[in-house]
Amino acid sequence: MSSFDQASRQGEPIHQEVDVAQPGSLHLLNTPGLTPGGGPAPMPTTVRRQHIRGTSLASQALSRSLQFTVRPALSVWSRTSRLPWPVALIDKAAGALRPIDGTTYQPVRLQNCNAEWLQGPGSNTKHVILYLHGGAFLCCGIRTHRRLVSRISAVSQSAVLMVDYRMLPAATVTDSIADGVDAYRWLLDNGYSSEQITVAGDSAGGYLAFAVPLAIEAAGMPMPAAIVAISPLTEMDPTHKMQSKNAKRCSMFPKNAVPQLTKISERQDQTAMASRGQAPRVCPVNADLRNMPPTLIQVGSHEMLLEDSELIAERLAQAGVPCELQIWDRQPHVFPVFADVIPEGQRAIAEIGRFIRTTHGSLLTAVN
């Protein structure tokens, strides 16, 4: 077990789930138990869990193409990760990915990193999303995620502050979290209240979508109104992911890539603890989650990170936090990013918009 996971996994509740062809009908799942710290549990709530059945031919083709392209590349990387891979080129090359028509964006400078203020068509500045991109804490950035985020902005009718946070190996995951907190503070300083802010992210950014609010709470600031996590990483310890059935059938991640990421992050953490007194990091699944806001989690049924999504949903429910967990049938990792080519991506983004709009109350403008 990772030295940065401070609490052991506990007995997990039995799941019951409902199959639905479309999002909307939610099944309530009781999840009693103790907090990860071992103290008395708050009044438990329920995970609203859906298993959304049906996989389009386009999505099946996409998963197969990822299986024969991205997955082998990541397998090679996991065996040669100490080589100077030009990962920064991924975000630069993604400049060709344009946001959806009608989107405006401009740069923002935070204390230690850049960010971008973005508004999709039909959005307004009444509410804002603090968005944290994925990429295993190693790659991707504003350019790779601008199109996805512009879609989320449009359907949620919210402005977005997307953070180009510091990443491995030049920085630690704790530094990435600090950049997210700086972005939140920037929003507060610019007139937003916590009730107007949703924190969202995908993959590694999904880790940050939970870790940043926890750091916000530790800093004594008010918590955001909601969290949205797409295919989130929530536990750096790879043990349970490696043992799951999805370790062999995930279309994007080979089995050997996950522990390699853990090694890199731990190596940088150990260096930072020794050189600048960085405190040990606790993964979201092992943190005190009692004050977290309502949360939506989306994940594919065959993803290696399904394990992480289910565990954080259970821990949130044990802590009394309302949580919606949507498991989409055989969808690849962070499938909403492929909304241009698969209908499931479009539907999932619509669900994100529905969740954010519901969290902030009914808006006057109808969304199709």
Q: Which residue has the tokens 């990860």?
A: 36
Amino acid letter, residue 296 = L
pLDDT, position 189: 97
Give the list of residues 6+ apart from residue 340 with CB closer than 8 angstroms, or none: 147
> Residue 146: which of 213, 221, 94, 84 has the closest Cα?
94
Confidence at residue 10, expressed as pLDDT on a 0 to 100 scale = 37
Closest by alpha carbon to 62, among 304, 249, 247, 331?
331
Amino acid identity of residue 361, one-letter, is G
- Per DSSP bridges, beta strands 124-132 and 323-328 are unpaired
What is the 3-class SS of the chain, one letter each residue?
Answer: CCCCCCCCCCCCCCCCCEEECCCCCCEEEECCCCCCCCCCCCCCCEEEEEEECCCCHHHHHHHHHHHHCHHHHHHHHHHCCCCCCCCHHHHHHHHHCCCCCCCEEEEEECCCCEEEEEECCCCEEEEEEEEECCCCCCCCCHHHHHHHHHHHHHHHCEEEEEEECCCCCCCCHHHHHHHHHHHHHHHHHCCCCHHHEEEEEECHHHHHHHHHHHHHHHCCCCCCCEEEEECCCCCCCCHHHHHCCHHHHCCCCCCCHHHHHHHHHHHHHHHHHHHHCCCCCCCHHHCCCCCCCCEEEEEECCCCCHHHHHHHHHHHHHCCCCEEEEEECCCCCCHHHHCCCCHHHHHHHHHHHHHHHHHCCCCCCCCC
pLDDT at 55: 94
CATH topology of domain 18-359: Rossmann fold (3.40.50)
What pLDDT was estimated at residue 250?
Answer: 87
Report the phi/psi class of residue 356: left, alpha or beta, with left for phi > 0 and alpha for psi in -120 to 50: alpha
Inter-CA distances, 278 with 114, 128, 178, 274, Å = 23, 31, 12, 8
The mean pLDDT of the chain is 85
Burial 117-146 (b: 16+ CB within 10 A, else e): bbbbeebeeebbbbbbbbbbbbbbbbbbbb
* Structure-block tokens of residue 109: 């400078």
pLDDT at 12: 38
Residue 338 CB neighbour total at 10 angstroms? 21
Q: What is the pLDDT of residue 81?
A: 65
pLDDT at 34: 44
pLDDT number for residue 47:
86
pLDDT tens track for 217-268: 999 999 999 999 999 999 998 888 888 899 889 888 888 888 888 888 888 8
Which residues are part of the catalytic machinery? 203, 303, 333
Question: What pLDDT score does 88 carry?
Answer: 64
State how far the Cα of 253 lies from the Cα of 241, in Å rounded to an integer: 11
- Determine the Cα–Cα distance for residues 182 and 177; give it in Å rounded to an integer: 9
Quick one: pLDDT at residue 172?
Answer: 94
Given this model, what pLDDT does residue 95 score? 72
pLDDT (tens digit, 0 to 9) for every residue of the chain, 368 residues total?
433 333 333 333 323 344 555 444 333 344 444 444 455 556 787 788 999 999 999 999 999 999 999 888 888 877 776 656 566 666 666 777 899 999 999 999 999 999 999 999 999 999 999 999 998 888 888 999 999 999 999 999 999 999 999 999 999 999 999 999 999 999 999 999 999 999 999 999 999 999 999 999 999 999 999 999 999 999 998 888 888 899 889 888 888 888 888 888 888 889 999 999 999 899 999 999 999 999 999 999 999 999 999 999 999 999 999 999 999 999 999 999 999 999 999 999 999 999 999 887 643 333 33
In the numeric block, which tokens belong to residue 219? Answer: 């800093």
Name the token pair of 246. 């999805």
* CA distances in angstroms from 8 to 174, 238, 291, listed in the order given: 21, 13, 21
CA-nearest of 327, 333, 326, 322 to 358 is 322
Q: pLDDT digit string (tens) for 80-129?
A: 766 565 666 666 667 778 999 999 999 999 999 999 999 999 999 999 99
Select from 194, 188, 224, 193 the least CA-distant residue to 296. 224
